[in-house]
Amino acid sequence: MEERTLDTKEMLQQEQDFGFARVYSVELMYKEQPKLDRDLLYANMERHTGKLDRPESEKQAGLAVWEANETAEKEHLHFFHLNYMVPYAEGEMPAQTSLMEIESRPSADYAAAIQQAWHWQEAEPTVQECKHSLLLVDMMASGLEPKSRLELFTGALRAVLETAPCDAVYFRASDKLVEPRAYLASIEEGESLYGAMNVRFYNVEGSGSGRHEALMDTVRLAALGIPDVQCHFYDLNPDEVAGILMNIGYYLFNQGDIISDGETIGFTEDMRWRCEHQYALAAPHRVVIDLNPGEPHYAGRQGAAPTE
């Protein structure tokens, strides 16, 4: 999704209907007050994201970090990434990231993320002990291709984690809590969506079918401009469905939204799951690719695809 080709009305509609994030953000949570070595942060940031600079208006070319509000009590650092240029009608502009101190939120604010943190059993007690937070955001980066945008953000996050290791990382878009060392290890192993994509599971009760009904989805690839994936089903193995959703999520991330409505996918000779774009059954509001595993397992509802 190229921001330069959209007018303001189209941007707002895209953000509302698709779930696209104009600003991408992650919270770094600490039990103790973090201490930033700015020289080390600069070196790590340049190592992971490439050449940095300040805008010409700052009149100090060669310095990579703008220290905003230097007299303020809270840190606020800004980075301009010259290896990630975003084209606009007026010319190119570097994508940016910003790191700032924010007020720590109570653990109750992360209740949904904690409930879905199957991958990290210590998420809840860790979050409860965290009393300090930093916020990393990207700015003017939504015009980048999804893979480039996440590559930049991942590099910036790695730089901060290696400079000031934290106790928990919270991806706001995917509502996902991750253990920092597990995140870094996964990124090293090529799992680029480890934090950016969350696979959720919901038991559906009260349908009166007498069968085990469930909904699983990914959240929020849509924030990067890629459809999420959902499956509403009866009597399938959730672990197997989760693996299918993750595989399709990575496929879409690497190839783009190239699955057409009515097309079927399958990882075995017997698997033919029908795909259709529609609005998500579970919040947040966004467009997803709905997977129909066929009878007797599909619990609905294809035929409700959004119009373009």
pLDDT (tens digit per residue) in 221-253: 999 999 999 999 999 999 999 999 999 999 999
Side-chain half-sphere exposure of 284, counting CA atoms within 13 A:
21
Is the pLDDT score of 73 beyond 80? Answer: no
Whether a cis peptide bond, with omega within 30° of 0, leads into 106 is no
In a domain, 30, yes or no: yes
pTM to 2 decimal places:
0.86
In a domain, 306, yes or no: no
Which of 75-84, 86-95, 163-172, 205-214 is predicted least confidently?
205-214
- 94 strand-pairing partners: 85
- 28 strand-pairing partners: 134, 169
Do residue 209 and residue 164 come from a single domain? no
Q: What is the pLDDT of residue 69?
A: 47
Q: What percent of the chain has pLDDT over 90?
A: 75
In a domain, 193, yes or no: no
Is the pLDDT score of 145 beyond 80? Answer: yes
Domain that holds residue 235: 198-292
Do residue 113 and residue 132 come from a single domain? yes
Determine phi and psi for 25, rounding to 5 degrees: -145, 150
Length of the chain equals 308
Please give the full DSSP string across 238-276, using - where no structure is assigned.
HHHHHHHHHHHHHHHHHH-S-PPTT-EE-SSTT--EEEE
In a domain, 72, yes or no: yes
Whether a cis peptide bond, with omega within 30° of 0, leads into 296 is yes
Do residue 52 and residue 81 come from a single domain? yes
Torsion 245-247-248-250 (CA) sign: positive
User: For the chain, what is the domain count?
Assistant: 2
Do residue 36 and residue 166 come from a single domain? yes
